[in-house]
A and B are shown apart, each in its own frame.
Chain A
Amino acid sequence: MQKILIANRGEIAERIIRTCQRLGVETVAIYSDADKDLPYVQQATVARHVGEAPPQKSYLNVERILEIAKEENVDGVHPGYGFLSENGEFAQALQDAGLTFIGPSVDVIKLMGDKLSSRRAMIKAGVPVVPGSEQPVESLEEALLLAEEIGFPVMLKASGGGGGIGMHRCENKQDIENTYEQTKKRAKAYFKNEDMFIEKYVGNAKHIEVQIFGDAHGNVVHMFERNCSVQRRNQKVIEEAQSPAMSEETRIKICEAAVLAAKEVGYKNAGTVEFIMDEEENFYFLEMNTRLQVEHPITECITGLDLVEWQLHVAAGERLPLQQEEITSAGHAIEFRLYAEDPVKFFPSPGLITKWHLPSVEGVRVDSGYGPDLKVTPFYDPMIAKIIVSGETREAAINRAKKYLTAASVEGIKTNLPFLIRALETEQFVSGHYHTGFIQSMNPITT
C-alpha cells in the first residue's frame, strides 16, 4: 500500500500515521470543524475537511469519506476503532469502489456485528457461550419466561449493541418489565436493529479478551490475552496484559478457543475475541470485535509487534508475518485511559485544556490526540490519552505507573487521573484479583 485514508480522528489517527510514516506509506487524514486544530491533522501527509462537528455529518458520512478517498486516489482505508470500523455497509461501499478496507471481510463484520448470529456461530464452533437465548425475544412475556428459565440475574441485550450501550442487568421480573421497551427503543435508535436477547449474568466476573490475527490464506494466530475488568458503565478504564490471577492452563485454553472462533468464521486482519470468566475460571464467549482495539498497545508492549503494520500487510494480501510459535510475550503492560470526566461521578467534562504534562519517558508510552491549548468538545468520546506503562514484572509496572500518574497533570478540564491513581492503591488491583464490579466496590474519592 502506498497511500491510505484514515477514517477516524484524534489518538488513533495519530497512532496509524506513526506506523505509516515508518513504513513510508502516505496518509490522508479527515477532520471535522471541531477537530481542525488537533495534532493528527498536521501529522498526516494530506488533511481533508470532512464536515461539521456532529459525527453523522463528518466521521460517519460514508458518501463524503468515499468522495475524499477517490479524489486522493488512496489504496485503502483504515477505519480505526468506533465510528465506521465495524460497519459492514461501509466496508462494502469501499469494496464496490475498488478500495481496500483495512479490516476483515464484509460477511464477517456483519456476522459478528450481530450478537445473536455470532453466538450461534460460536456454538457451532464448539466455543463456550454464556447461557441464553439463541433467537431474538419477541415479546416482554417471552423475555420474562426465558429469564425465569435461565435464572436471575440476567442481562437484557440489544443484538446490535456494543461499547457498553444497549444492555441492562435485570435482578428480577420487575426490572425486565421496567426496561424492556426502553432498551428495545434505544436499540432501534442506536443500532437500527431492535432485536433483543437474554443472557445469564455472570457475577464477580473477569473480562478477558484475546487478540487474534488472521490472513487471507487461512492462517490464524493469537497474541495472548488482556484483562479488561476495570470498567465503568460497561466501558473499559484500565487494561493489562497478560492477565494477572489466571492459571497457565486457562490461558492456553482461552487463547485456543479464540483461535478456534476466528478460524470458524474465516477471520482475516486484527480482531479480538471477548470472554467473560467466572471465579472458577470457566470462560464464555461474549462478542467479537472486528477491528483494532483501543487497548492494542499493551499487546504490542508484551509481544514487541506493531499491530497496525500487520494490518497493512494482511490487507495487502500478504501472509501473517509470524507463525504462532514465533510470537512470544515478555514483561507486563498496563494501559490507563485518561478521560475528560469527573473522577468521582464519571460525568463528561469538555472544555479547554490549559495545562498538559504527559511526557514520554522510559517504560511509558503515551498515545494521545490532544495537547495544551486544545479544546475537548462534547461531540466525541471523552478519551483524551492512553498511558501505557510497561515493566519487567507486574509489580514494576504498577510502581512505575504510580510514579508517572502522580507526576502527570492535565488542567482546564476535569480528568479521571485521581481515579486512576486511587485504583492503583487498592488491595484488589494490586493483588490482581479484581472483577468487573471493582469500580463500584471502591471507596469514593474525596479529594
Chain B
Amino acid sequence: MKKVEAAMAGTVWKVLVEVGDEVTAGQTVIILESMKMEIPVEVMMDGKVASISTAEGEFVNDGDVLLELE
C-alpha cells in the first residue's frame, strides 16, 4: 500500500476519484483549499485506489493520509 498525504493543512474541496479507480502518476486525485487557493494533490505512481480516508468539506492537517493506493 502507498499512502498519499496532504502536503499542507487545508479543507478538502473535491475528491476526484473513487475506491477501485485506476490512477496514473501525476494525476490529480484531490483538491485541497488553503488560504483561498486550490492545491491539487497528485499521485506519484500508477496504482488502484484502495481506500479514501477523507471527504469533501473535511479539514486536514499537513501529513494526514488522504488515500491509499495498491
Contact = CB atoms under 8 A, between A and B. Distances in A.
Interface string B1-27: 000000011110000000000000000
Contact of A382 (B9, B35, B59): B35
B33 to A, nearest CB: 8
Interface string B23-54: 00000000000111101000000000000000
Among A233, A340, A379, A382, the one with the most B-chain Cβ atoms within 10 Å of its Cβ is A379
A381 interface: yes
Nearest to A82: B36
**Interface footprint category on B:** 10 to 19
Secondary structure of the A side of the interface? loop
Secondary structure of the B side of the interface? strand
Given A348-B8, A350-B8, A350-B9, A340 B35 contact: yes
A126 interface: no
A444 interface: no
A419 B9 CA distance: 24
Contacts of A163: 36
Nearest to B36: A381
A348 B59 contact: no
A54 B60 CA distance: 12
A380 B37 CA distance: 10
A24 interface: no
B59 A350 contact: no
A382 B36 CA distance: 8
B34 A348 contact: yes
A380 B35 contact: yes
Contacts, number: 34
B11 A348 contact: no
Contacts of A350: 8-9, 34-35
Interface in A42-67: 53-54
A53 B35 CA distance: 12
Contact of B11 (A54, A340, A341, A382): A54
Nearest to B61: A378
Interface residues of A, number: 14
A82 to B, nearest CB: 9
B16 to A, nearest CB: 11
B36 A380 contact: yes
Nearest to B13: A189
A170 to B, nearest CB: 19
A44 B48 CA distance: 53
B32 to A, nearest CB: 9
A350 B10 CA distance: 10
Nearest to A233: B37
Contact of A381 (B8, B11, B35, B39): B35
Contacts of A340: 35
Among B8, B10, B35, B59, the one with the most A-chain Cβ atoms within 10 Å of its Cβ is B35
A382 to B, nearest CB: 4
B11 to A, nearest CB: 7
Contacts of B9: 350, 378
Nearest to A381: B36
Interface in A330-357: 340-341, 347-348, 350
Nearest to B37: A348
A54 B59 contact: yes
A378 B39 CA distance: 12
Interface string A365-386: 0000000000000111110000
B15 to A, nearest CB: 13
Interface string A2-30: 00000000000000000000000000000
Contacts of B8: 348, 350, 378
Nearest to A164: B36
Contacts of B34: 348, 350, 378
7 contacts: A347-B39, A348-B8, A348-B35, A378-B9, A378-B10, A379-B35, A382-B35
Interface of A: 53-54, 163, 233, 340-341, 347-348, 350, 378-382
Interface of B: 8-11, 34-37, 39, 59
Given A347-B39, A350-B9, A378-B11, 6 more contacts: A54-B59, A348-B8, A350-B8, A378-B34, A379-B11, A381-B36
Which 5 residue pairs across A and B have the least CB separation, nearest first? A348-B35, A382-B35, A378-B34, A378-B9, A348-B34
